[in-house]
Amino acid sequence: MRFDFTDLRLFLAVAEAGSITHGAAEAGLSLPAASERLREMEASSRLRLLDRGRRGVTLTEAGEALLHHARLVLSQMARMHGEMGQLAKAVRGTVRVFANTAAVAEFLPLRLAPWLATHPHADIVVKERQSADVARGIALGFAEIGVLSDLVDTTGLTLRPFVTDRLVVVAARDHSLAAMRQVRLADLRGQPFIGLTEGALQDHLNAQAARIGLRTRPRIQLRGFDDICRMASAGVGVGIVPETAARRCRKSMPISVKRLSDDWAVRRLSLCTRSDTKLTPLAQSLIRHLESERKGPPGRAHTDTSTRDDH
């Protein structure tokens, strides 16, 4: 049997997604091309690797064995590229990072910039995922470094404290919420929402709302937290954003900021890596940098990003 690296990356992507369609997109292949590769892999090995069903695909026993070896092979290839990149500066190295929405939008950009500036031959690929998908992606070897909340299963991962992320409700200063001492998600029932266009945080909020039977129908969906705060300040509705974003926007916008008192609204974010895999030299350098930057820029400490609620 002959499997090339594209085959192995595709198989990993399909295994993670539980879907040939989503796995093909993750691997950068069209659905017909991905399906043909998978058929050829099964024909070459004379084994059924996937059980195909109406709700996606699951791995057979042979598929589980291939997944194990694919992880090892691709991990070793990543290490080789990283080490060669350190020895030959003409060869670029890449570190793949999976992170949740708050990390991608609020915490990583300022921390990644100085590392990239001092590593001109390195690239970073950052992909936004829900924390549970970050954990699964790191465990499967799709990325070397993850940033996730401490509310998900992290078996098999090594965690390092990073930052505390707190979610808050933003509204116009004269909104009725401004008079409340504390706000829970259930208190927003019937309120017009301002949401994110897409992303892991919006999926997380939708899941929490569904859990308590709250249906959120955004009046408008926007790409950034600053835009949500701007709409909220104009009285369009209420939004939920990280406290760091609300605190930044409150300096220039007339908004009320209220911490969500639900337990899930306070998330301690951690850096994570696979426990059984040694990082490439570039990834080791990056994670050491991120650990050293835990306190972040002035005013954005690891232990708290608090701002007093409006009263």
Q: For residue range 6-25, list pLDDT tens digits in order.
A: 899 899 889 988 999 988 98
Confidence class of residue 300 from pLDDT cuts 50, 70 and 90? very low
- Report the CATH superfamily, name and number, of domain 167-265: Periplasmic binding protein-like II (3.40.190.10)
Residue 115 has pLDDT above 90, yes or no: yes
CATH 1.10.10.10 residue window(s) in the chain: 5-75
Lowest model confidence (mean pLDDT) among 39-53, 68-82, 136-150, 235-249: 68-82
Confidence class of residue 302 from pLDDT cuts 50, 70 and 90? very low
Host H or E run for residue 221 = strand 218-222
pLDDT of the residue at 111: 94
* Cβ neighbours of 128 (radius 10 Å): 18
156: tokens are: 């098999």
Mean pLDDT across the stretch 231-259?
96
Mean pLDDT across the stretch 63-83?
80
Residue that has been written with the tokens 């939708």 in this structure: 206
Residue 295 has pLDDT above 60, yes or no: no
| Average pLDDT in the chain | 87
Which residues lie below 8 Å from residue 215, measured CB to CB, with a gap of 6+? Answer: 209
50: tokens are: 């996937």
Do 14 and 57 touch, CB atoms closer than 8 A?
yes
260: tokens are: 């969500």
What architecture does CATH give domain 5-75?
Orthogonal Bundle (1.10)
113: tokens are: 């910039």
How many residues belong to the chain? 311
The Cα 311–Cα 309 span in angstroms is 6
pLDDT of the residue at 86: 56
Confidence class of residue 75 from pLDDT cuts 50, 70 and 90? confident
* Cβ neighbours of 58 (radius 10 Å): 13
pLDDT of the residue at 87: 57
The Cα 112–Cα 179 span in angstroms is 39
The Cα 183–Cα 259 span in angstroms is 7
pLDDT of the residue at 311: 42
Lowest model confidence (mean pLDDT) among 51-55, 205-209, 260-264, 301-305: 301-305
- Helix crossing, 5-17 with 61-87: angle to 10°? 120
CATH 3.40.190.10 residue window(s) in the chain: 83-163+266-292, 167-265
Confidence class of residue 267 from pLDDT cuts 50, 70 and 90? confident
Host H or E run for residue 3 = none
Task: Tell me 309's DSSP state.
Answer: P
Amino acid at 77: M
The Cα 96–Cα 125 span in angstroms is 5
Lowest model confidence (mean pLDDT) among 170-174, 196-200, 301-305: 301-305
pLDDT of the residue at 274: 92
pLDDT of the residue at 306: 40
- Find which of 134-138, 152-156, 231-235 is predicted with most confidence, using mean pLDDT: 231-235
Question: Between vectors from CA 75 to CA 92 and to CA 274, what angle results, nearest 5°?
Answer: 110
Residue that has been written with the tokens 């927003």 in this structure: 188
State the number of CA atoms in the 13 A half-sphere of 98 facing the CB.
24
Do 310 and 257 touch, CB atoms closer than 8 A?
yes
State the number of CA atoms in the 13 A half-sphere of 143 facing the CB.
25
CATH fold label, 83-163+266-292: D-Maltodextrin-Binding Protein; domain 2 (3.40.190)
Mean pLDDT across the stretch 228-251?
96
Confidence class of residue 88 from pLDDT cuts 50, 70 and 90? low
Do 171 and 231 touch, CB atoms closer than 8 A?
no
